[in-house]
Amino acid sequence: MTTSEDAAVAKLDKMSDNLKRVEELSQRLIEVMAHHQPMRKSLTGPNEDVFSNAATAYWAKAMENPGAIFEQQMAFWGKSVKHFIEAQHMFAQGKFEPPADNTPQDRRFANPLWQSNPYFNFVKQQYMLNSQAVRDSVAAMEDLDETQKRRINYFADQIVEMMCPTNFLSTNPDALEKAVETEGQSLVDGLENLIRDLEENNGELIVKLADEKAFELGGNVATTEGAVVYRNEMMELIQFAPSTDEVHEIPLVIFPPWINKYYILDLKEKNSLIKWIVDQGYTVFIVSWLNPDPSHAEIGMEDYIQDGYLRAIEEVKSITDQKQVNAVGYCIAGTTLNLTLSLMKKRGDKSVKSATFFTTLTDFSDQGEFTPFLQNDFIDGIERECEQQGVLRSLIMQRTFSFLRSNDLIYGPAIKSYMMGEAPATFDLLFWNGDGSGLPGKMAVEYLRGLCQRNEFVGEGFDLFGEKLSIKDVTIPTMSITCETDHIAAWKDCYRGYQQSGSRSKNFVVSESGHIAGIVNPPSKKKYGHYTNADMKGSAEEWMDGATYNEGSWWPTWDAWLSPKSGKKVPARAPGDSDHPVLCAAPGEYVKKKAFK
């Protein structure tokens, strides 16, 4: 045999071995699924209700005007038949090429074979026709209220995204090419990745986005030097070591969202907001929240405020020997900081001199992309889950958020992992994203019912501590940092709530990019700019029309606002004091606890 023949035989042998391995792994996959206990109604109910109610509303409207549906179907069938005839015509002429393709650009179809190969091009064009037919049918529905319309749009989008041909091996040229190139090894690796993800999550399919073994808390993420100087059952309080000889006398305490872990603000030195603030000469504290389990079922909003916010503020004042602090709240922690400030106003407590809110919602009158998940049927399912589990588990929230960007957070990663056989990325942001936290059952229901559904904080008042807390009670100087493409806390919604606060000194900023990248935007990168406008009398659109665009990060803009509110310079402070001994080095112990499954 020649050398080339030997190589061909070796390739065939390897392919054969890999196909046998695929068969063995398939049996293992069957065993994993056979032993999987189906999720209870309390878990599946919320998601099922979104789809079933959207489908019910769609068919109810369809039956009111079947002629319109038939007309749409006839148009769809006509385009499909025409597409098939055009493809057949090219073959009849002896041309191995696709017909004219005027479909829009879509990054899922970047492989040249989607354009040049008649089979893949036919599949792509037909998918585009199908997708448009679904969306046209939904758009043609009349007399729907806004909630129904958003639910049906969400339902339709999920169907369209799920049925994309790139999600199936037989119609994904990238996956097929790699399978041939690797003699089937990519399929073996993909099956191993799939089984690993199923086994690690008790049979639930959650795509691993990052290589967890590549990161170590305190090693290559969460590395800013500091120490835990206080701990209770709700949180650890971390004080960071100074990097300047002098610091502002008034300290800064940061409250991150407890739906995630604090180190999104301290991933690595070059993009760490915490490190940057320390370097500007501030004494910085941050709260590292408890990751709850079923024993914490009865922890509510009052506990977060009393044992989290108010306790942290008092301890920071004691450690620094100051009467006031400046405070920051990020996302849900910003919403709760507003509640805390309202309570402090009613109590005459002036411990907070200024407050900054990152991507913070206070007015939930427009539920935006979360509309499908904030209706009674869905929240009823969440409430059942919380009653049975004691917590709203991280995997439920992760799944809900992921479906809002399903191509980027579900199907795209699944294709790379399971079809292409690629290892999870070594990307710190994705590692953090997968290191989630649950919510105590009582707190989750209070937040969803009172704030998100009934919108009480900007209405008749949110009832806590025997008080009716209102956004109008927030009267200290404030700044709100929002993000232009944020799909979790849309900047216009943040603006609407912020407008209603009682502060006479309001400063509103819109950073380019989204919920994370717009906040974690170090000046050194010179990547995203930001918009500013002192006039907040008009609508969000009017604010943006009159805004000034500023090159670069908002961090220096914020520093220029915060610095005059932070007092004179004093000698730098080491973490802790005689009453607050160092309990352990940052990032502490609470941050290492994994979410309850």
Residues noted as catalytic: 331
Say if residues 356 and 327 touch (Cβ distance below 8 Å): yes
User: What is the residue whose two structure tokens read 């369809």?
Assistant: 62
Strand partners, 404: none
**Contact, 322 vs 249, CB < 8 A?**
yes
Would you state the structure tokens that stand for residue 333, as one six-digit string? 């922690």
93: Cβ–Cβ under 8 A, 6 or more apart, which residues?
none
431 beta partners: none
**Amino acid at residue number 399:** R
Task: Name the packing angle between helices 41-64 and 66-92 (round to 10°).
Answer: 90
At residue 104, φ and ψ (nearest 5 deg) are: -70, 160
Integer Rg of the chain from CA: 27
Q: Where are the beta strands (DSSP E) in 85-191?
A: none
The continuous run of DSSP H or E covering 318 comes out as helix 311-320
Are 236 and 228 in contact, with CB atoms under 8 Å apart? yes
Identity of the amino acid at 205: L
Residues 6+ apart with CB under 8 A from 553: 511, 521, 522, 523, 525, 526, 527, 528, 530
For residue 587, whether the previous peptide bond is cis, meaning omega lies within 30 degrees of 0, is: yes
The secondary element (H helix, E strand) that includes residue 236 is: strand 235-240
Q: At 527, phi and psi to the nearest 5?
A: -100, -55
> Are 483 and 359 within 8 A, CB to CB?
yes
Residue 203 falls in which region: left (phi positive, over 0), alpha (psi -120 to 50) or beta: left
Residue that is written with structure tokens 């709100």 in the block: 480
Q: How far apart are CA 260 and CA 361, in angstroms?
A: 17
CA-based nearest residue to 529, from 507, 514, 516, 510: 510
- CA 354 to CA 341: how far, in whole Å? 10
561's tokens: 């606002």
> What is the rounded CA–CA span in Å between residue 452 and residue 454?
6
